[in-house]
Amino acid sequence: FSSASEVRMDGMLRGYGMNEEKLIRIMQASEVLSAKHIYIDDSGTNTPLDIRAKTRRLAAEIGGLDLVLIDYLQLMTLTREKDNRQQEISEISRALKILAKDMKIPVVALSQLNRAAESREDKRPKLADLRESGAIEQDADLVMFIYRDEYYYPETTQKPGIAEIIISKNRHGATGNLELGFEKEFTLFRPLETKYEQ
């Protein structure tokens, strides 16, 4: 809502700083988003089998899906215990890959990173930073990271309001970096007049 309406979320939740213009933008964003048929499942069942069943059921009800988004991979569990969390995440990653192939739709899975970048001078995330499993890197067709210099160096950054999109793996295309404008108060990304660097 915040990105679509360009109204701060804290203002929406608390009524802070609201005026007629912002209310109109919220209503317009609501109409646009409701027309997009976005379905959110925030139930506590997060196994690959649950997601597969819900995805198939919803696709049958509405005539197909364009995309499945998982926020985030490490919140998922298996129906049976594994020896360690790394094995569990590996199996979850493979199950999502199979779901994407079977349904013929993209499955986008957000993932946590380990803390390795915190100790490096260059804080940009790398494939090895994917938390708990190299299987995520192996199974994914595309791996993208978001890096904001301003997050780590708010006082000294040379790039305020800029997010760097790092395409670290692309099975069917090029890798490289792309800069976007980022408006933190709305969690909003905007195109910049910059070139894609390979």
How far is the C-alpha of 188 from the C-alpha of 163, rounded, in Å? 10
Structure tokens at 71: 């926020």
Report the alpha-carbon distance of residue 185 to residue 17 in Å, rounded.
13
User: Residue 3 pLDDT > 90, yes or no?
Assistant: no
pLDDT in tens, 43-76: 877 889 999 999 999 999 999 999 999 988 888 8
Tell me if 36 sits within 8 A of 60, measured CB to CB.
no
Q: What is the pLDDT of residues 6-38, one digit of tens each?
A: 888 887 788 778 888 888 888 898 888 888 888
Range(s) of the chain covered by CATH 3.40.50.300: 37-121+129-139
The pLDDT tens digits for 100-147 are: 999 999 999 998 888 888 888 889 999 988 876 678 888 899 999 999
Query: What CA–CA distance (Å, rounded) separates 67 from 69?
Result: 7
> DSSP label at 132?
T
What's the confidence (pLDDT) of residue 156? 92
How far apart are alpha carbons 36 and 69 in whole angstroms? Answer: 15
37-121+129-139: CATH, from 3.40.50.300, 3.40.50.2300, 3.40.50.720, 3.90.1300.10: 3.40.50.300
Whole-prediction pTM: 0.81
Q: What is the mean pLDDT of residues 83-105?
A: 89
Cβ-based burial of 125 (10 A; exposed 0-12, middle 13-18, buried ≥19): buried
Give the number of other Cβ atoms within 10 Å of residue 99's Cβ: 18
